[in-house]
Amino acid sequence: MIGFPSIAFLRGLGIVRKAVLPALAATFCLAADLAAGELRLERVVLSDGGVALFDHTAELDAAEALELVLPRAQIDDLLKSLLLFDVPGTAAAVTLSGEARSGDLLRDLPLADGDLASLPALLAALRGVEVAVGGPQAIEGRILSVVPEERREGEARIARHRLTLAGVHGLRSVVLEDAESIHIRDPAMAAVLATALERFARAREPGERRLAVRLRGGDARRVRLVWLAEAPIWKMSYRVLLEPGRARFQGWAVVDNRSGRDWSEVELVLVAGGPVTLRQALSRLFWAERPEVPVRLPEGIRPRIDEGALPPPPVAAAPGRAARAATAAPAERAFEPEALAKAAEPAALLAAEAAESPTQSFFRLPGRVSIPDRGSALVPVLDRTLSAEPIVLLQADRAPDRPLLALRIHNDGPGALPPGLLTVYARAPKGGIGFSGDAEFPLLPVGESRLLPFARDRATTVVVEPSAEEGIVAMTLAEGVLALERVARQITRYRVRSRAEEARVFVLEHPKRPGFRLAAPAPTAEGPGFWRFERALGAGETLSLEVVLERPEFERLELVDLDAERLAVLFAGREIPEPLRRAMTEIARLRAALREAGELRDRLEKERGELVAEQERLRANLAAVPAGSDLARRFLERLGASEDRLQALGEELARARAAVAAAEAALRAFVRDLAL
């Protein structure tokens, strides 16, 4: 039984002797007078997984049989987990009354579920059956067809059905909606229809399923039946009384009975641990899908008629410490109306017997419990003094300017404490008991502590001062690449002032930020989304706490592409290292020389292009004028001067291109050899 008490624990409770047959589980209704003995509910084990274990006993005589009547909705759980304990006997059989879904009710009848949806559908399914129709037009015969038709009355269209019968007088039809009665003359088909309707009626009965358990043994003896059933989860609620010197801790459980019968003087065990609980429709009928193979008929032979020759076909998821006292902060102890009780101490509870397993906690209530069906009860579970201390808690991601009063509860008891709600009471100055606040109480394993905020602390003021900065922390230069490591910092300064009359502990929960790491100070603890810091806060003292988060950033820059303005931005607020400054000065000089050489080359390239274009224009003009004319001679002179300039320009351009290449090589060589 996964998720329920261990066999050893059940043996201690008197449940387990000899397991004979695992089979089912569910809540139930019992027959008032059983044939072979009366089954009595002895014990209920409620789990926070939404199921309950029901433990029963029965006295058997030689009849050796038990009969249970079970609610229909609970039968699947029953069929999953029944255990029978019969030391001298043997389980012979467990039988259950049959039940089927609507689709299975007609499986062996010549009707389908849709055939009973309407009278036209039923009559269409009964084609060929002899019927007698009574009414204004009485006819008899076998059903031939049921055809829908429409009749118009003004703008309205009225749907009707025409029933056609084949009889001794031929084919006759009648409007089905005008018929007053229809009688099925075929006794066999009338019986089929009666059987189908009877099955549907039984399937919709709100009753129960009947279970028969047969045991072989022969002698009168006591047997035990244990099973699981769906049940409402039980809820835990706690009360804490704070006063000088101690913190009284009481736990109550809210238990609901929805089992279908009263619980009369039963032993009640509560289980906490979150077991895995599953359901399966074991009471439903499931049919395997099987492929249908067609019936193979012998093929007849029909000789082919010769119509000429054909061409040939192509080839184709520790106890023992003494409890420490705790005192509520007087700034938030409680309100104190006159109606509050003045009793010196809450009444003691009859605490449950606690036990622990690796996965669950068990609480067996003292005495016997009676809860009527559909009733609820508040039952005591524990009464102990836990180690606790009041603290001031600031959850900066929830409310950075609203500190809370909280309790640090340490479980130094014998077992884990289930989750629930917690109500905090405190002694008022005049001796009464006042309400201080509520808190969510999480699961508290043995040896662990939890912080439980329950009220706002008006005696503490918090001022939050956020700031941010960024700077370079490391730099390397190699092969012309400047590698910078920068750090972005988020700095949050908390100034905490206490107006309380006594010293307390201040606990800060500072939220984590994506990509940031904690630089300072060292945390006291770490949660999934926050760091926790603890500091002593004296009476009337002001405390300062600075939390620094850092996010490293890396950048690689080619020095050839880096100019003075970009460099100034990178080193904003920080002095540029002298070697880097000298290197950037030399790079700027080499870059200027390269720029001048490039400008000269570009001017010569432009001039050469203009001369080539002018020569093309001159040759075109020369071809258009008479040879030997004065204009032709002038064009030839200008063309010759252009050729002379092009030749000189070629030499100058070659020298300019060489100068550019030399300047580029000098810049690359200088940058390549730089190192810091």
pLDDT in tens, 385-397: 888 888 999 999 8
pLDDT at 86: 75
Give the number of C-alpha atoms closer than 13 A to the C-alpha of residue 169, restricted to the C-beta side: 8
Question: What is the token pair recorded at 337?
Answer: 């109306």
- Using the predicted structure, report yes or no on whether residue 4 has a pLDDT greater than 50: no
d(CA 642, CA 525): 87
Burial-class residue 328 by CB neighbours within 10 Å (0-12, 13-18, 19+): buried
Distance from the first to the final alpha carbon of the chain: 71
d(CA 413, CA 481): 64
pLDDT category of residue 11 using cuts at 50, 70 and 90: very low
Residue range 521-537: mean pLDDT, rounded: 92
pLDDT category of residue 267 using cuts at 50, 70 and 90: very high
- Using the predicted structure, report yes or no on whether residue 74 has a pLDDT greater than 70: yes
Q: Using the Cα atoms of residue 589, residue 590, residue 595 and residue 600 in order, give the sign of their dihedral.
A: positive
pLDDT at 35: 38
Range of weakest confidence among 33-37, 75-79, 177-181, 277-281 = 33-37
Residue range 639-662: mean pLDDT, rounded: 88
d(CA 639, CA 624): 15
pLDDT at 633: 85
What 3-state DSSP class applies to 647? helix
Alpha-carbon Rg for the chain in angstroms: 48
pLDDT at 5: 40
Give the number of C-alpha atoms closer than 13 A to the C-alpha of residue 482, restricted to the C-beta side: 22
Reported as type and span, the H/E element at residue 35 is: none
d(CA 605, CA 603): 5
Contact assessment for residue 229 and residue 73, using Cβ atoms and an 8 Å cutoff: no
Q: Give me the percent of the chain exceeding a pLDDT of 70.
A: 80
Range of weakest confidence among 160-174, 334-348, 522-536, 595-609 = 334-348
- Supply the pTM of this predicted model: 0.62
Regarding predicted confidence, which is higher, 581 or 509?
509
Per-residue pLDDT reduced to its tens digit, 472-485 = 767 777 777 778 78
- Using the predicted structure, report yes or no on whether residue 506 has a pLDDT greater than 90: yes
pLDDT at 377: 93
- Using the predicted structure, report yes or no on whether residue 16 has a pLDDT greater than 80: no
Per-residue pLDDT reduced to its tens digit, 142-152 = 999 999 988 88
pLDDT category of residue 221 using cuts at 50, 70 and 90: confident
Reported as type and span, the H/E element at residue 240 is: strand 235-243
Range of weakest confidence among 184-198, 224-238, 625-639 = 625-639
pLDDT at 207: 62
Residue range 668-674: mean pLDDT, rounded: 78
pLDDT category of residue 244 using cuts at 50, 70 and 90: low
pLDDT category of residue 325 using cuts at 50, 70 and 90: very low
Maximum CA pair distance of the chain? 150
Residue range 540-546: mean pLDDT, rounded: 93
Per-residue pLDDT reduced to its tens digit, 401-446 = 899 999 998 888 788 899 999 999 987 766 678 888 999 999 988 8
Q: Return the residue matching tokens 């023992």.
A: 320
d(CA 270, CA 414): 16
Q: In what order do the strands lie in the sheet with 530-537?
A: 449-456, 404-410, 387-395, 504-511, 530-537, 525-526
Nearest CA to 504 out of 290, 328, 242 is that of: 328
C-alpha torsion angle, residues 452, 456, 458, 461 (rounded to 10)? 80
**Sequential DSSP letters for 598-646:** HHHHHHHHHHHHHHHHHHHHHHHHHHHS-TTSHHHHHHHHHHHHHHHHH
Regarding predicted confidence, which is higher, 96 or 412?
412
d(CA 77, CA 625): 114
pLDDT category of residue 92 using cuts at 50, 70 and 90: low
- Using the predicted structure, report yes or no on whether residue 339 has a pLDDT greater than 80: no
**Sequential DSSP letters for 386-408:** -EEEEEEEEETTT-TT--EEEEE
Contact assessment for residue 371 and residue 377, using Cβ atoms and an 8 Å cutoff: yes
Residue 245 backbone dihedrals phi, psi, to 5 degrees: 95, -10
